Amino acid sequence: MWAPGMVATDEIELMAESGVKTTLAAEVNFAITAGAAQYVISGSGPDSPGSYSMEFDIGRSFPLVSLVSMIAPSPDLFVGVRDLDLCLNGTWGEQLVFSLQPYDAGTDSGVSYGSLNADMDPVDPISQITGFSFESNVEVARLGSFTFQWIDNQ
C-alpha cells in the first residue's frame, strides 16, 4: 500500500491530501479479489485529541495490517503503519501498541499546514518527517497510536 522511499500511489495521495478513503478502499478490494488481502478496515474518528475503535476479524492467512490516516490540516501529511504482523512468532498479541510518526506523501509542496493545494510534478518519494516542526531535542513527535486488542469471540 505504501512505504517510505516509495512514490505515493494515487490512492495514498488522495488520502493524504484530501482524506479520501473510497479509492484506497477500492484498491484494497481489488487486492481482496486477487487473493492478496482479506479485509478493508475503514473508520472515521473524531478530531484530535480523541479516540476511535473498530472490531475486525483476522486469521493466520492474512496476519499483516496496514493502516493510514491523514493529518489535517496539512498539504499531504499522514500517519500510518504497514505490514504489521499481529501474529508474531505464531502468537496473537493480547495488546499491541504502535506509536505513530508523521510521513510526507511527497505529492504537494504546500509550506504551511493551511497552504492551498500545490500539486507536485514530479513527486517526491514518501518520507518520514524529521526536523521542524515535528522534532525537538532530537525526538520526533509521536502523533497518537494504533492499539490492537485481541478479542476472542470463539
Stretch that binds Ca ion, among 48-56, 61-69, 99-107, 144-152 (CB under 5 A): 99-107
Cell for 142?
509521536
Closest to Ca ion by CB, 69 or 107 = 107
Q: Shortest gap between Cβ of 106 and Ca ion (angstroms)?
A: 9
Closest to Ca ion by CB, 46 or 114 = 114
Q: Shortest gap between Cβ of 95 and Ca ion (angstroms)?
A: 37
Asked if the peptide bond before residue 63 counts as cis, ω within 30 degrees of 0, the response is no
Q: What span, in angstroms and rounded, lies between the C-alpha atoms of 40 and 42? A: 6
Burial class (CB in 10 A: 0-12, 13-18, 19+), 104: buried
Stretch that binds Ca ion, among 25-33, 79-87, 89-97, 101-109 (CB under 5 A): 101-109
Q: What span, in angstroms and rounded, lies between the C-alpha atoms of 15 and 22? A: 9
Q: Does 119 bind Ca ion (CB under 5 A)?
A: yes
Closest to Ca ion by CB, 75 or 80 = 75
Q: Shortest gap between Cβ of 81 and Ca ion (angstroms)?
A: 23
Q: Shortest gap between Cβ of 145 and Ca ion (angstroms)?
A: 28
Closest to Ca ion by CB, 15 or 65 = 15
CB-based contacts of 76, cutoff 8 Å, min separation 6: 13, 16, 17, 104, 105, 106, 107, 108, 110
Element (H, E) at 127: strand 127-128
Q: Shortest gap between Cβ of 21 and Ca ion (angstroms)?
A: 17
Q: Does 69 bind Ca ion (CB under 5 A)?
A: no
Give the bridge partners for 103, in sequence order: 78, 128
Binding site for Ca ion (CB under 5 A): 107-108, 119
